Amino acid sequence: MSMSENSRRAELSLSELKERLIEAEENLAAISSGKADAIVVQNESGLKVFTIQGAETAYRIMVENMNEGALTIDSTGVVLYTNDRFCTMIDWPCSYIAGKLFQDFICAECKDSFDLLLKKMLTGAKVHQDFKLSRRDGTSIFVYLSCAPLEISNRHDICIVVSDLTERMAARQKLIKLNNELEMKVADRTKELERQKKELERSREKLFTLTQSLEDQVYHRTVQVRDLAKALSLAEQKERQRLSDILHENLQQVLFSIKTRFDLLSNEFTDFPEEMKQDIEDLKMLIIKALDTSKMLAIEFNPPVLKNEGLDAALKWLAHHIESRYHLKVHVNITGEFRIIPNEERVLLVQFVRELLFNVVRHAKTGSASVSVKGSGTYIIITVEDRGVGFRVEEQKKWMNEKNKLGIFSIEERLRLLGGRLRIESSPGYGSKFTIYLPYEERNKQLGVT
């Protein structure tokens, strides 16, 4: 065969190969675009038709364009296929990745875990796990692998979907940072609260100490004020007694002597003019009136019953004295047995009741009143009541304050100094009721109320 014939045959073969290559590229393009529905392949047994279903084309397009990375590996880990998204994740082209072991793109600390994962997948198990992959620049990227076996033509391939966890890890790191900052703030706040708590406890202890000290001072000062009030009352009573003694021992004696001298003169000299006799009789009557007045003042200044009798006897005497002197009928009702009580207590109570009864005499315009006495677990209670004209309490108190007068409201002030109180109930046309409350619980033994 000549060289020219060989050259023509070589050109024909080359031309045929070019045509077949062009046809193959067109077929691949048709397959990639989804235009081809089937492929006809000639082999030793003849022509064989392979169909390409439309669903597979749609699936292939979806895989190529999805936001997750996708790849297929064989049973040893060799990458058979990868989409563009996975290539972007690790910054390697598809041509470089295909044919490489997937393990080559896994960080060293995660390779053992992937080998265990691969063994599980070859048994047919589906596995999901976080991994760290190596990028081209040496940095790492956190991903989430969803792996499932892929049985095709007796092959044990594995389909892997790779999700980029960069944003999630960044969010997680941010969350961890925020959590750490929050814990630090909570710790600082807790420390501050502990400090404030300790300061509050110290302040509370100081306040408690000051309160105790203040309470002690108030208690002692109250005791002093009460003792002073009692002392003043006793001083007043002693002054009354002194005045009573003066009236009884001096003035009454002088007046009695004058009366006696007038009587002697009247009997000795009988030839007085009638006009002078009348003047002498008038003087004698004035002397008798002065004697009666001095006796009455001496008794009111210092009632004899206060010296040796108890509270019940003193109040009954006071009721009799008021009735005989001022024609006010006083009913006395005492609940319980009152034995002898300390002189200062008895003097105060009798003095208060006397002032209230005098108030009835002067203002109530009534012929009767009542006094009741009873003991409770806390107070000794004395009530003075009448059915007279009554008055408006607040208006009367205001008027007396404006006029700088004390009256019955002075009893209220004195009782307050002694730890007691005075309750006043009254209204026009319905009489008045005055109730004295004097602390009793600490004086049970002294007051002797059963």
Residues 6+ apart with CB under 8 A from 166: 141, 142
CA Rg, the chain, in Å?
A: 62
Question: Is the same domain home to 440 and 343?
Answer: yes
Question: Is the same domain home to 386 and 431?
Answer: yes
b/e code 46-70 from CB counts within 10 Å (16+ = b):
eeeeeeeeeeebeeeeebeeeebbb
Tell the residue number behind the tokens 């892997």, with chain if given: 160
**pLDDT computed for residue 334 by the predictor:** 86
Question: Is the same domain home to 72 and 45?
Answer: no
Q: Please answer whether residues 318 and 304 qualify as being in contact, where contact means their C-beta atoms are separated by less than 8 angstroms.
A: no
Question: Is the same domain home to 48 and 68?
Answer: no
**pLDDT computed for residue 360 by the predictor:** 93
Record the pTM. 0.46
Question: Is the same domain home to 373 and 427?
Answer: yes
Question: Is the same domain home to 314 and 417?
Answer: yes
Report the C-alpha gap between 93 and 79 in whole angstroms. Answer: 13
User: Residue 102: which CATH number?
Assistant: 3.30.450.20
Residue at 240: amino acid letter: R
Question: Is the same domain home to 333 and 416?
Answer: yes
Domain hosting 89: range is 64-164
Q: Low-confidence residues of the chain, pLDDT below 50?
A: 31-32, 49-50, 52, 54-55, 340, 441-450
**pLDDT computed for residue 16 by the predictor:** 63
In a domain, 261, yes or no: no
Question: Is the same domain home to 321 and 436?
Answer: yes
**pLDDT computed for residue 435 by the predictor:** 94
In a domain, 82, yes or no: yes
